[in-house]
Amino acid sequence: MKIAVLAGDGIGPEITGQAERILLALRSDGLKLELEPGLLGGCAVDAAGEPFPEITRRLVKEADAVLLGAVGSPKYDGLPREKRPEQGLLAIRKELNLFANLRPAILYPELASVSSLKPEIVSNLDILIVRELTGDIYFGQPRGIERREGQRVGFNTMIYTEAEINRIAHVAFQAARKRKGRLCSVDKMNVLECTQLWRDVVTETGKEYPDVKLSHMLVDNAAMQLVRDPKQFDVIVTGNMFGDILSDEASMLTGSIGMLPSASLDDRNKGLYEPIHGSAPDIAGKDLANPLATILSIAMMLRYSFAQEEVAMRIEHAVRKVLAQGFRTSDIYEPGMKKVGTREMGDAVLANL
C-alpha cells in the first residue's frame, strides 16, 4: 500500500503528522505500507511556484491512495486564481478523476451536548452525504469576470452530463443499499435545468435499485430539514456546489468540523482521504487543531482503498474510546473534560489502538 502524504498548509502538517503516527504504528504491527511525502497547495507554491507541481502529479499517480491535510492561507489571497493553493486541490481531484466524495456525518454520543442542536434531535445521527466532485459550476465553462457595457459582469456555468450524474448515482445507491436503504437526491429543479436533468437521471438509475427507497428534495428545503430533523436522512446525493454547502452544514450537527473525515474516490477505489475542514490559519502552529477528522480519514482509506475493514474499525474504535475517556481538543471541549492539544490527542488514540 503506497500512500502519498500531502500535508499542505496551516494545520495540515500537524494533523497529518498524527495520522502518520497511527499508520506507522500499524506498519510495525504488520501492515505493509509505504508513506511518501509530497507538496500540494501553498507550500508547493512557495517551493515550486505552482500549487500542483509535476513531481506531485507523478507521486499521486503512482500511489494507491493519498492522504491530504488541507491547503490554503490568506497569504496567497493576492495571487491570480490559477496560482492559488485551492487550485491544487481542484486539479488533483480532476487529475485522479475523484468524482465521488463520501462524507459521513456521525454524532458520537459523547459529543451530543457539543452539537448546536438539541440532543434529542441529533442523538445517534448517522448520515452519509455523497457529493459529486468533478463537475458542476466549479468546473463549467465559460466562466470569468468581464467588462460588458461599462460594468463588470461575473459568470459561471452549471453543467452536468448524463454520464456524470449516472455514475455518482450508482455510488450513492450502492452506499444506501449497504446502510438503511434510503437515498435522498437533492437538486433545484424548480429553477435550474441542469438539476432537472439531475433528477431525471437519478430517477432512471434508481430503477436498477428497487430495494432502495429514493426521494427527491429541493436544496433550500434540504438545508432546512438538516437542522429541523436530520435523522430523516440516511444517504444524501447531490452535486458539487450543493454538496459542498450541505456537508459543512451537516458537520456542525456532529459537534465540530474537526471530527469529520472524507473519501474522494475514482471508479476503481483509488482515493484521496482528507478531513473536510480547511487549513484553519487562525489556529495553525499552536497545537490546537483536532486531528480526529484526519485520523478517521485513514480509517476510510483502509476501508475503501485497501479493503482492510477490520483495521479501519480498530481505528474508529480507538477514537470512540478516546472520546469516552474525556480527551477533548478545544473545538470540542466542555468543562469537566480533559483538554488536550493536537499531539496529546494523537498520543491518546495511539494508546487505545
Residues making contact with ligand NAI (CB under 6 A)? 11, 15, 70-73, 86, 89, 257-258, 274, 277-283, 289-290, 293, 331
Which of 29, 46, 220, 267 is labelled catalytic?
Answer: 220
Confirm or deny that 282 is annotated as ligand binding: yes
Comparing C-alpha atoms, which of 257, 256, 237, 270 is closest to residue 127? 237
Using the minimum distance from each CB to ligand NAI, give the nearer residue, 136 or 274.
274
Catalytic site includes residue 244: yes
Query: Are the C-beta atoms of residues 8 and 68 closer than 8 Å to each other?
Result: yes
Confirm or deny that 290 is annotated as ligand binding: yes
**Quick one: what does residue 132 bind among ligand NAI, Mg ion, none, with the CB cut-off 5 to 8 Å set by partner type?**
none
CB 182 to ligand NAI: min, Å: 28
Catalytic site includes residue 138: yes
The DSSP code sequence of 122-172 is HTT-EEEEEEE-S-GGGT-SS-EEEEETTEEEEE------HHHHHHHHHHH
Which of 64, 248, 266, 347 is labelled catalytic?
Answer: 248
Q: Which residues of 54-69 are buried (b: 16+ CB within 10 A; e: fewer)?
A: eebbebbeebbbbbbb
Query: Are the C-beta atoms of residues 214 and 237 closer than 8 Å to each other?
Result: no
Using the minimum distance from each CB to ligand NAI, give the nearer residue, 15 or 315.
15
Confirm or deny that 91 is annotated as ligand binding: no
Catalytic site includes residue 220: yes
Which of 9, 187, 234, 244 is labelled catalytic?
Answer: 244
Catalytic site includes residue 234: no
Per the listing, cell 438539541 goes with 118
Catalytic site includes residue 108: no
Confirm or deny that 10 is annotated as ligand binding: no
Using the minimum distance from each CB to Mg ion, give the nearer residue, 164 or 244.
244
For residue 191, give every residue at least 6 positions away whose Cβ sits within 8 Å of its Cβ, in sequence order, or none: none
Using the minimum distance from each CB to Mg ion, give the nearer residue, 244 or 316.
244
**Quick one: what does residue 103 bind among ligand NAI, Mg ion, none, with the CB cut-off 5 to 8 Å set by partner type?**
none
Active site residues: 138, 188, 220, 244, 248
What residues form the annotated binding site for NAD(+)?
278-290
